[in-house]
């Protein structure tokens, strides 16, 4: 139990200790990744050794002491052209036929049918082993990658904690007095300031009049005591302040506010859209807007895009950076099974303290940012999630100003537009309609795209967001 007089000092020491332990854990994960990061690369196809082994095994099963042809010697020649030809024929057709065998073998071998059968079985077994080996190496590389990503997250969080300034002394007296006037006793207190732009408060508090007070009301009192911006209760804190002391974490709200809008329509003839989206405020001081377009349309595409959106949201809430979250989502989709249903991922994160937009994309359509200077396009690559490994999400950053608008669309919206340069066509349309509320803007874009195509030829989703200073 901490003493009341030095409570905030004790809490600050625990904060520093936690930061150091996180840094140690990050180092351990990085060392663990290096331990398993051996130089084993995936093979693209069967080797000459595989072909030679397949021929030797077939000869052992069929030929015995027969020396009527030179097929056994061909299998021993590492520099022989026939081994290369044999592999190419097997890879092209999936099996070796009689016409692929040497003429001397066909003219002299009495058991050529059995030999070719054994040869194909041996080559098929080698191909299957190569597939499983590559699958294992991909899984191993994915695990190593996640060890490293987690190490980066822990190290970043550790540095953030170490850079935090303890500014408790400047606020402790005012906060204690304000809470006491409302029948609450602050036993311990810690105020941290991160990079001079946001603050975080830990209060160990209880009521002294036998009643309970909501943590939201306590956040309002904290705002009155400390002035400036509003405060909110962290999601992992208790919602009630009672007679028993408990530590509650409060987060200073950002200077910006974001309002969102959405308009969507499934493909004509489908009852379920293959697109899914989310608006999230799970991360402190940040609004996350995500859009996933499943391949195709209907239930299968909708289920795949829903998984992508939910997993991305969970990872961001757990503290993963957007880049790390998208890389992990790609890995999970890649390793879920042999049957792949890739989905695009479009992620926009707005920092409510600075107004900075970070857009990250895996194969997603362009994002449009409308402001005083016109409409700007944020483009990325064409690789959907769950297709390639390693994959690096495209990161695009832009400073937002008050009354700017963000417009995110699925491929079905852009494909509905006429002309070859569909992105430029959408840009001109957005510039022509001027400022609108987020919901009105989403409705207008969807209606415009549908009118251009004469209906919904694919799933169509429009997400919009507007930013304002509080």
Calpha distance 145→10 (Å, rounded): 37
Model-wide pTM > 0.95: no
Range of the domain at 314: 256-469
Q: What does the pLDDT average to over 283-297?
A: 81
CATH at residue 178 = 3.30.70
Q: What does the pLDDT average to over 234-254?
A: 89
Q: Which of 356, 352, 350, 361 is nearest to 383 (CA)?
A: 361
Q: Final residue of a domain: which of 252, 283, 303?
A: 252
369, β-bridge pairs: 376, 406
Q: Final residue of a domain: which of 235, 252, 269?
A: 252
What φ, ψ does residue 70 adopt, rounded to 5°? -105, 20
Dihedral in degrees, nearest 10, Cα atoms 400, 401, 404, 405: 20
Q: Are residues 282 and 170 in the same domain?
A: no
Residue 4: pLDDT band with limits 50, 70, 90: very low
Percent of the chain whose predicted confidence (pLDDT) is above 70: 81
Residue 113 confidence (pLDDT): 78
251, β-bridge pairs: 200, 232
Q: For residue 3, is pLDDT > 50?
A: no
Q: What is the mean pLDDT of the chain?
A: 79
Residue 302 confidence (pLDDT): 77
- What's the domain count of the chain? 3
Calpha distance 423→271 (Å, rounded): 28
Q: Are residues 195 and 132 in the same domain?
A: no
Say how far residue 398 (Cα) sits from the centre of its chain: 20
Q: Are residues 115 and 155 in the same domain?
A: yes
| Strand pairing report for 343-351 and 460-469 | unpaired
Q: Are residues 431 and 383 in the same domain?
A: yes
Q: Are residues 450 and 392 in the same domain?
A: yes
Q: Are residues 343 and 439 in the same domain?
A: yes
Span of 140-154, 234-248, 393-407, 419-433 with lowest mean pLDDT? 140-154
Residue 177: pLDDT band with limits 50, 70, 90: very high
Q: For residue 387, is pLDDT > 50?
A: no
Q: Are residues 436 and 332 in the same domain?
A: yes
Angle between helix 215-226 and 172-181 (nearest 10) = 130
Q: For residue 299, is pLDDT > 70?
A: yes
CATH at residue 332 = 3.60.40.10
Q: Are residues 159 and 272 in the same domain?
A: no
Q: Token digits for 308?
A: 């992508």
Q: Are residues 302 and 235 in the same domain?
A: no
Q: Final residue of a domain: which of 163, 193, 219?
A: 163
Q: Are residues 378 and 318 in the same domain?
A: yes
* pLDDT tens-digit series, residues 252-270: 888 899 999 999 998 888 8
Q: Are residues 20 and 74 in the same domain?
A: yes
Q: Are residues 245 and 360 in the same domain?
A: no
Residue 111 sits at the vertex; the CA angle it makes with 109 and 114, to the nearest 5 degrees, is 135
Distances (CA, A) of 217 to 243, 253, 372: 16, 15, 39
CA-based end-to-end distance of the chain: 40
Kindly report the number of other CB atoms within 10 A of residue 46's CB atom.
19
């Amino acid at each position: 139990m901490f003493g009341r007089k030095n409570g905030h000092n004790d809490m600050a020491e625990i904060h520093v200790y936690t930061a150091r332990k996180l840094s140690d854990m990050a180092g351990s994960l990085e060392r663990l990744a290096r331990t398993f990061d051996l130089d084993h690369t995936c093979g693209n196809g069967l080797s000459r050794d595989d072909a030679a082994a397949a021929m030797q095994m077939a000869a052992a099963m069929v030929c015995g002491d027969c020396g009527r042809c030179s097929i056994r010697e061909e299998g021993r020649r590492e520099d022989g052209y026939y081994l290369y030809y044999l592999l190419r024929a097997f890879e092209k057709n999936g099996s070796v036929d009689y016409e692929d065998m040497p003429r001397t073998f066909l003219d002299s071998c009495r058991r050529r049918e059995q030999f070719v059968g054994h040869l194909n079985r041996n080559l098929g077994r080698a191909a299957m082993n190569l597939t499983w080996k590559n699958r294992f190496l991909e899984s191993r590389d994915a695990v190593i990658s996640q060890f490293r990503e987690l190490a980066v997250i822990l190290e970043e969080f550790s540095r953030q904690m170490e850079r935090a300034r303890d500014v408790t002394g400047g606020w402790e007296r005012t906060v204690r007095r304000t809470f006491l006037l409302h029948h609450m006793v602050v036993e311990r207190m810690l105020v941290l300031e991160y990079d001079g732009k946001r603050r975080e408060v830990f209060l160990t508090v209880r009521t002294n009049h036998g009643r309970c007070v909501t943590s939201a009301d306590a956040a309002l009192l904290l705002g009155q005591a400390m002035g400036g911006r509003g405060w909110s209760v962290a999601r992992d804190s208790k919602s009630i302040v009672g007679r028993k002391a408990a530590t509650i974490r409060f987060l200073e709200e950002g200077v910006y506010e974001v309002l969102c809008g959405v308009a969507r329509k499934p493909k004509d003839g489908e009852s379920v859209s293959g697109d899914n989206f989310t608006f999230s405020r799970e991360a402190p001081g940040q609004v996350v807007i995500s859009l996933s377009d499943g391949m195709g349309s209907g239930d299968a595409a909708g289920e795949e895009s829903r998984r992508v959106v939910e997993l991305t949201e969970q990872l961001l809430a757990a503290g993963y950076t957007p880049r790390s979250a998208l890389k992990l989502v790609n890995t999970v989709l890649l390793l879920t099974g042999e049957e792949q249903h890739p989905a695009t991922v479009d992620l926009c994160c707005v920092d409510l303290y600075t107004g900075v937009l970070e857009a990250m994309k895996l194969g997603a359509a362009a994002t449009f940012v409308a402001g005083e200077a016109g409409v700007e396009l944020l483009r990325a690559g064409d690789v959907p999630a769950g297709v390639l490994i390693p994959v690096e999400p495209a990161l695009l950053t832009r400073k937002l100003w008050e009354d700017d608008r963000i417009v995110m669309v699925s491929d079905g919206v852009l494909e509905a537009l006429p002309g070859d340069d569909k992105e430029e066509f959408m840009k001109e349309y957005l510039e022509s309609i001027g400022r609108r509320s987020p919901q009105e803007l989403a409705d207008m874009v969807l209606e415009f795209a549908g009118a251009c195509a004469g209906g919904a030829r694919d799933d169509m989703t429009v997400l919009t967001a507007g930013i304002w200073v509080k």
